Structure 1
Amino acid sequence: MNISVPAILVAARAHGETAVIARLMTEEHGLVAAYVAGGRGRQLRPVVIPGNSVEAEIRSKSDNQLPFARIELSTSRAAWMTEPLPAAAIGWACALTASTLAERNPYPSLYSALEALLEAICHAPSARGWLAAMVAFEAMLLRELGYGGEKPDMAADLDTQFEAFRQLHRPIRDYLLAGNPRDVMAARNALGERLKRMIE
């Protein structure tokens, strides 16, 4: 693998003293895990935040090796990670993507939908402006992976959108995240609780 592409960083875990293993969602190559040297260092720490968009140079000598990646920030969403509801939404969207997609299978429509969802979360004045996009993204994931998932009514009122969000809980838990750690689904539960408090 030898590519230079835009990507959305959807997960990162510490590796050694200063590096991270990042999971990058790309349009043409799908989800790619890569070693980022210095990812926990002062220079890259603000970049290696799930939800950020980056320019990534990904290199490996063979397809069987974990690639190395050099990343540069293109869009930071770190400011919204200090706001409880946007942070919960960004965290859930990234965790869901990182936990459900097989690596290196391209899903260009999901890449575009995730980018649009993250932009909506960060720029809409409230969840009224992005909840329908969240439901649409979850339903698209279900469809892309063969589990159905009806397209939501994007013009529905907030109560209807929240009910659609609630109805997707079981298929996501039982199909998309079957066998995954409980903390992944806990991220959706936390988002649901924050949305419920906002609506009530």
Structure 2
Amino acid sequence: MEWRDQGILLSSRRHGETSAIIEVFTPSRGRHAGIVRGGTSRKISPILQPGAQLDLSWRARLEDHIGAFTVEPVRSRAAIAMGGRLTLAGLNAVTGLIRFCLPEREAHLPLYRRTETLLDLLGQDDIWPLAYLKWELSLLEELGYGLDLGACAVTGATEGLIYVSPKSGRAVSREGAGEWADRLLPLPDVLRGVGPAGDAEIAQGLKTTGYFLHTRLAGDAASKPLPEARARFIDAFNRSI
């Protein structure tokens, strides 16, 4: 069994004395693990940094085996990622959420393309938080939990939408919220792609997407909490505002 593809390195860990086990995110194979022989060597280990774009060849005797990767660098994002606290935290949040959310060996091509585009924006702190927020929305949609923000779930109105129902993920207007307003999540205009995207609104949007990531994907926080890398990114972003 053999295939070749390009992908994003999510993680790398030592395996034995000289090898490494890596996880990658690829367009056609999704999240996939494998062994890199000699992965701890001076030649290969600098390549195996999270966020790196790699050319990958995978081979195994049987399809369900972990298999072995041969890797060639396409481009590194390590230097950019180390350029600032927010940038590094953002990269770790993206790779951590992909490892957390996606089942192994299941293709998610639209999300892959969005992820590659997002990581290519690393270091551009003026636009990256908004791009990251949109990426979280696309992650929820890709996994079947997309938010419906076009009209009020109660009245059908398309104006005055300022809340999101935590139960349905649908927009709610001020009028439709009534006495339940204090139980609803914020719906800043930025989540609907309307108006200027100020940092305060982005922070509100991340609070809302974070709720659905937690309740829809994490489930019981005691047994499967969201990656701490996301919380560290949110903290770094809030401190930068």
| RMSD over equivalenced CA pairs, Å | 1.9
The match for 1:171 among 212, 215, 230 is: 212
Q: Secondary structure at the match of 1:120?
A: coil
Q: Following the alignment from structure 1 to structure 2, what is the Cα–Cα distance between the partners of residues 3 and 89?
A: 30
Q: Secondary structure at the match of 1:168?
A: helix
Deviations 1:111-131 (A, max 9, x none): 101101101123x2x2x3111
> 1:193 is matched with which residue?
235
> Is residue 36–residue 70 contact of structure 2 (8 Å, CA) maintained in 1?
yes
> 1:55 is matched with which residue?
55
* Structure 1, 4-13 or 140-149: larger mean CA deviation: 140-149
Q: Secondary structure at the match of 2:227?
A: helix
In structure 2, do the counterparts of structure 1 residues 150 and 98 end up closer, same or farther at CA, with 3 Å as the change threshold? farther
> 1:99 is matched with which residue?
100
Post-superposition offset of 1:134: 0.8
Q: Match of 1:138, as an amino acid?
A: E
Report which structure shows greater RCO (CA 8 Å, sep ≥6): 1
> Is residue 30–residue 104 contact of structure 1 (8 Å, CA) maintained in 2?
yes
Does residue 80 of the first structure (1) align with residue 80 of the second (2)?
Answer: yes
Matched-pair identity in %: 27
Post-superposition offset of 1:165: 1.1
* Structure 1, 141-150 or 17-26: larger mean CA deviation: 141-150
Deviations 1:61-98 (A, max 9, x none): 21121111011111101112322110000011011111
* Structure 1, 2-11 or 147-156: larger mean CA deviation: 147-156
Q: Following the alignment from structure 1 to structure 2, what is the Cα–Cα distance between the partners of residues 190 and 71?
A: 30
Q: Which runs of 5+ in 2 are unaligned?
A: 150-190
Does residue 113 of the first structure (1) align with residue 154 of the second (2)?
Answer: no
Q: Secondary structure at the match of 1:163?
A: helix
Post-superposition offset of 1:104: 1.4
Q: Secondary structure at the match of 1:172?
A: helix
> Is residue 46–residue 78 contact of structure 1 (8 Å, CA) maintained in 2?
no
Q: Secondary structure at the match of 2:12?
A: strand
Q: Following the alignment from structure 1 to structure 2, what is the Cα–Cα distance between the partners of residues 84 and 41?
A: 28
Q: Secondary structure at the match of 1:11?
A: strand
Q: Following the alignment from structure 1 to structure 2, what is the Cα–Cα distance between the partners of residues 56 and 185?
A: 26
> Is residue 81–residue 122 contact of structure 2 (8 Å, CA) maintained in 1?
no
In structure 2, do the counterparts of structure 1 residues 149 and 23 end up closer, same or farther at CA, with 3 Å as the change threshold? farther
> 2:34 is matched with which residue?
34
> 1:44 is matched with which residue?
44
Post-superposition offset of 1:150: 5.4
Q: Secondary structure at the match of 1:63?
A: coil
Query: TM (normalized to structure 1)?
Result: 0.89
In structure 2, do the counterparts of structure 1 residues 150 and 195 end up closer, same or farther at CA, with 3 Å as the change threshold? farther
Q: What is the number of residues matched between the two proteins?
A: 195
In structure 2, do the counterparts of structure 1 residues 10 and 150 end up closer, same or farther at CA, with 3 Å as the change threshold? farther
Q: Following the alignment from structure 1 to structure 2, what is the Cα–Cα distance between the partners of residues 41 and 70?
A: 14
Higher helix share goes to which structure?
Answer: 1
> Is residue 100–residue 227 contact of structure 2 (8 Å, CA) maintained in 1?
no
